[in-house]
Chain A
Amino acid sequence: MKQLCVWLTLLLFCFAGTAFGNSVLEEKVVEHQFANGMKLLVVERHDTPIVSAYITIGVGSVHETSETRGVAHLLEHMLFKGTKTLGTTDYQKEQPILAEIEKVGSKLDALRLQTDADPAQVTALVKELKELQSEHKQYVVKDVFSNIYSENGGVGYNAFTSKDLTTYLISLPSNKLELWALIESDRMRDPVLREVYTERDVIREERRRSYDTNPRRRHYESLVNNAFSVHPYRNPIIGWHSDIANLSPQKTREFLQKYYAPVNTVIALVGDVKAAEAIALVGRYFGDLEPGVPAPNVAAAEPEQNGEKRVIDIFDAEPRLAIAYHKPTMPHKDDYVFDLIDQVLGSGRTSRFYRSLVEEQKLATSVSVYGAPGSRYPNLFVIDAIPRHPHTTEELEAAIYVELDKLKKELVDEVELTKVRNRLVTDQLRQLRSNSGLARLLTSYQSLSGNWRYLVNYTEEIGKISVEDIKEVANNYFKPSNRTVVVLKREDAL
């Protein structure tokens, strides 16, 4: 899910398009707003009888509090467990057991937080919970959505939670579109949070797998967590172990009820569908959902950083270096400038970092540049570099600053700018090739910027950026006091 945030920022470049790219998008996207606030975007593409369906809720881990860290992601998992009609053999009989499980589970969680808890009482509750869970099993139809979608030829059935958004996706043979509408509307209307306590264990294993044992992602987690002091972007989407272990069905339900509402929802259907029929279908299945209340903006604002932050993260792996600078997000003009800077410094074999650090000085095996960790609030410009032995992270860091200083002192030349523009235009076209990729773009930008046409207007905005703007932005942001540097390395490494 972290990758998504990175990916979203990269996509910004991909959509700096020519007139051609813009017109393709303008012509192809049909949009419709339903009375309950739900937004639908449809792109017809009839070559193959398949369709990709994305549902994006404009809610993510930024909406959590210190008591609920990790709940947006837990809820995403829980919404795979079925509804009152799907996933159960008899909801009426199941419901009282679910209530009992919740009661015992909450008692157990509370008890475990008490320092003087009676171990015998804990053991008894664990046993009771286990028995209830095993009694509950008789009413569960396991993983029912996955089962039905798979049987009907669905592929890529998944969901991801990011800092800003939560998305549920599937691609189906196009004759099965109504199945999607039925399942997804039922899932929005009547989800049942089954097997919460088992799922918490699953997520802790996910955390161990994706962060605690993976040097690259753990390094990224450290960087983001240290770069922000106040804004909730600092918190890992998945939560810390103690967060996950203390999430309750109650907290999960509250988050669901508060935020999962048509006013916060954007749907994209891309593929072999007719726009008019798609609008009618979505209206029929989702139209009677109550609008809900728009998710409020996060009040916490990151104060200006007043000094370099420098962190060592000890891990059993070869050293890695990451540097982050605070920057504004879209639609701030400087955000567009950073998109160009990303390209000049970090895109391709002829980018400045690759040429200088990898090819000529041979200090690094790779240097990548991206925006993170979200796009709705002021975010970070990140440089991620892997030193090549025997060169150290210190040498590499110094060489990176030399390149940043060049941007501060010298204007980028015209040939370099043309090259970057060619890349932007062409990558835009490449992004349009897959149904799923296009659906993802449309829902993400609609949700983040309030209008998918951000993508269309992007070309024009980028066209306004001058080489002088690049120099000015480099001078304004690439300052030691605005940066966080995290080195991941072994304890015994120098």
Chain B
Amino acid sequence: MMIFSRSLLLAAFVTITILAGCSATQPTHPDQLEYPALNFQLPEVETLTLANGIRLYLKEDSELPLVQITAMVGSGAMTTPADKIGLAGLFGSTWRTGGAGDRTPEELDEYLDFLAADLSASLGPYTAKLNISLRSEDLQNGLAVLGDLLRRPMFAEKRLELARLQAQEHLRRQNDSPGSISRRLLMAALYPNHYLGYSPTPETLAAITRQDLVDFQQTYFAPNNLWIAVSGDFDRANLMTLLNDSFGDWSQREVPEQHLPTIARSESGAIQVAAKDLPQTTIVIGDLGLTKDHPDQYAVRILNYILGGGGFNSRMMREIRSNRGLAYSAYSYFQVGRRLPGPFIAGTETKNVSVVPAISLTREIMVDLRNNRVTDEEVQLAKESQINSFVFGFENTHSVVSRQMSLAFFDYPKDYLAGYRDRIAAVTAVDVQRAAREFIDLSRQQIVLVGDPEEFSQELSAFGLPVVDVDLD
């Protein structure tokens, strides 16, 4: 090591000396720089299907003696009935902590901690997931635990009760921070009477039973509904043997299809005001966005960058923060829905007296995006940014394999990644304006304000939306 680094230092010294002689040509402005081409190919991910239908996504990376596995069941909590909202959280927590196979909850916790394994379990709207990070020498132990958790979870009653108590305390604290209040109220307004808009209540939490968890597992967990992504330092042949040990004797069976509840877009907007004695108001503005199948999704990415997604390069950040000092953060995002439209949200936080100016600025920027074409420079910057940063999606090997798995599960086009940069490059200012006209409509936006309304409530009528006071207690 020392010899190696000495020789490097020597080489460096020589280089510096040579270059010092031509310092007159040292560039002083980025425009004078020329860059070598970036040598990048999309990494290959091996995909295969086992005899019982398990879909596998594999990528070896032996730099560090670690291995990471994501196991995904292709059914989610979106069909949870309204009187059992909170099931997803209790399922994930009890699945993780409730014991599995021959191990009691305490034994499983102790075992995993002794291996220094990181294990998480969650139930999302579309899928149920386990994620585990292990030392590579523990691969066999880790896969055996995954096998137990998927096929023989215990869902111990006492761990369900602990999870329920924790969730109830979380509910008691849900009005502590203005950020969480505003998100909850906004989602409820955007997705009325829908899973995506519901929050748990003490009653719905109390209604969830262990049998609900068991039923979900027994209905949906099957090898033909299981997807597994593995990355890190493993030997492929050994991995296949171990997978066979844990899952080989698990037989296929029919898994019912989940019928997702439909969403009705609210046609009229409103302003909800939640009073809290704070020196700053949290402002969120929302509407329904789009799904991954929307033809203008790439134009929407450019639109969002220019509106509030591009950090300091976005219009919201520039006008609200940089030019006027009205806020620290000003942002927008479209959460692209996998199967149902995700939300389109813009927001900022400002002292109570500046609430109306900050909302007005945001709305002016939005209206301008509808009414006028953005400049070529703005489109160019947004496109270059997304095209040139594309490579950062591939730094982490596990995100490469698990993304490949998700793209396949959600039926993304085969060339989604390979063609991504070209599709961004094809977006024009005309496309951006078309997207703006589809997704920006002030009259149907839902606005939520959490702060002290004393200093702004009189002026809210200027926005032409009904104003509703929300009682947080």
Contact = CB atoms under 8 A, between A and B. Distances in A.
A143 interface: yes
B349 A183 contact: no
Given A49-B38, A198-B323, A419-B113, A212 B313 contact: no
Interface stretch (A149-157, A220-228, A459-467): A149-157
B414 interface: no
B349 A205 contact: yes
Contacts of A275: 8, 12
Interface stretch (A368-376, A398-406, A428-436, A468-476): A428-436
Interface in A54-92: 80, 85-86
A348 B313 contact: no
A27 B110 CA distance: 34
Given A27-B1, A147-B312, A434-B396, A173 B318 contact: no
A148 B395 CA distance: 22
A191 interface: no
B236 interface: no
B328 A206 contact: yes
B176 interface: yes
A250 B380 CA distance: 38
A10 to B, nearest CB: 14
B12 A279 contact: yes
Contacts of A457: none
A471 B297 CA distance: 60
A186 B12 CA distance: 22
Contacts of B113: 348-350, 419, 423
Interface stretch (B276-284, B428-436, B441-449): B276-284
A24 interface: yes
B5 interface: yes
Contact of B16 (A47, A171, A284): A284
B26 interface: yes
Interface in B316-331: 317-318, 321-329
A443 B20 CA distance: 27
A138 interface: no
A430 B136 CA distance: 12
B430 to A, nearest CB: 22
A111 B16 CA distance: 53
Q: Which of B20, B30, B166, B277 has the most CB of A within 10 A?
A: B30
B12 A280 contact: yes
Contacts of B165: 362, 388
A427 interface: yes
A55 B111 CA distance: 41
Contact of B313 (A86, A143, A176): A143
Q: Which of B35, B37, B282 has the most CB of A within 10 A?
A: B35
A316 B28 contact: no
Contact of B109 (A152, A285, A350): A350
A36 interface: no
A151 B176 contact: no
17 contacts: A31-B5, A45-B63, A48-B391, A49-B40, A150-B384, A178-B35, A202-B322, A202-B327, A202-B328, A210-B328, A213-B279, A275-B12, A284-B26, A349-B113, A362-B165, A433-B66, A435-B395
